[in-house]
Copies of this chain bind each other. A is one copy, B any other.
Amino acid sequence: MKEPINFLSKFDLFSEQWAPKVIAEMNDYQFKLVKIKGDFVWHEHEDTDEVFIVIEGSMGIEFKDRSVELSSGDMIVVGKGEQHRPFAGEECKILLVEPRGVLNTGNTGGEMTAENDIWI
């Protein structure tokens, strides 16, 4: 039996940035909370779309041909294979929805790659 989950209460449980924490699974998809600040790496996810939902704060996503801004209550679908680079001037709290097993840095790797399946 699954119980209700409060996003802000879950955000209170960690302070790391760029390190997604799993809060729920639906079929083979995961819902992950992330705190972000600064610039992430350019990357893409070759096999899947990815959803960003801003819970608190503001962020941007740079694409190769444009840049978008997102604030609390906004979402965007980043398409499969679409190169993107998330960034935030101040810490921003976001919810990601994507299939289990997706790495945060996609095909790029590197030191910002976070361990998967860390539940809170």
Say yes or no for A75: interface residue by CB 8 A criterion. yes
A interface SS class: strand
Contact A51 B70 (CB under 8 A): no
Measured CA separation A1–B63 after assembly (Å) = 10
> Which residue of chain B lies nearest to A98 when distances are taken between CB atoms in the complex?
B26
Measured CA separation A79–B3 after assembly (Å) = 11
Looking at A4-12, A13-21, A35-43, A107-115, the stretch in contact with chain B turns out to be A4-12
Interface residue tally for chain A (C-beta within 8 Å): 37
Measured CA separation A76–B24 after assembly (Å) = 8
Say yes or no for A103: interface residue by CB 8 A criterion. no
Name A residues whose Cβ lies closer than 8 Å to a Cβ of B.
Answer: 1-8, 23-27, 29, 31, 48-51, 55, 63, 65-66, 68-70, 73-80, 97-99
